[in-house]
């Protein structure tokens, strides 16, 4: 049975080789068509990118097809990268400056609160003293002005 199968195959060897060559040719044809479709799609995408960049994809007298477009797209990418980097640096500098201002404001507010507390304590002491002596003097007036945030009166 196997011998008869091999005998029949040997008799039809030229046809089997023809089928194998035809199958290989068909496979190569399909691969070529797929490659051509991929290439055409890549060219269409490149043309769209170039049109968006404001440059022609076609060849010019001084440059091959796509060369001017590649230069323009590279320049635009570099510009975008530089702008993003500078924007990030400006933002970081502004955040740092705002932090410094906030710290200064907090320190000034703390100093003002301490000064107001001290002035209120001086006012209370001067008021107590004025009640006992039943007299309002320079020290009491100075304490009132300090509590109100004014400078001391001149003598």
For 30-73, the pLDDT digits (tens) are 999 999 999 999 999 999 999 999 988 888 888 888 889 999 99
Helices (H), the chain: 2-11, 13-53, 67-133, 138-147
pLDDT, tens digit, 9 for 90 and up, residues 93-115: 999 999 999 999 999 999 989 98
Domain boundaries, the chain: 2-116
* Residue 152 DSSP label: P
pTM over 0.85: no
Q: Please check whether residue 147 is in contact with residue 123, taking contact to mean a CB–CB distance below 8 angstroms.
A: yes
């Amino acid at each position: 049975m196997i011998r008869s199968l091999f005998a029949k195959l040997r008799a039809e060897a030229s046809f089997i080789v023809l089928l194998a060559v035809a199958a290989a040719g068909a496979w190569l044809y399909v691969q070529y068509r797929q490659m051509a479709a991929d290439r055409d799609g890549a060219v269409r995408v490149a043309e769209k990118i170039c049109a968006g960049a404001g440059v022609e994809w076609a060849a010019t007298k001084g440059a091959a097809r796509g060369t001017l477009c590649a230069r323009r797209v590279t320049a635009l990418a570099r510009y975008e990268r530089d702008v993003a980097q500078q924007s990030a640096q400006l933002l970081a500098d502004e955040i740092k400056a705002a932090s410094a201002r906030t710290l200064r404001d907090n320190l000034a507010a703390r100093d003002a609160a301490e000064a107001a507390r001290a002035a209120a304590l001086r006012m209370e002491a001067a008021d107590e003293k004025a009640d006992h002596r039943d007299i309002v003097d320079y020290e009491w007036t100075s304490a009132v002005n300090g509590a109100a945030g004014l400078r001391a009166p001149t003598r």
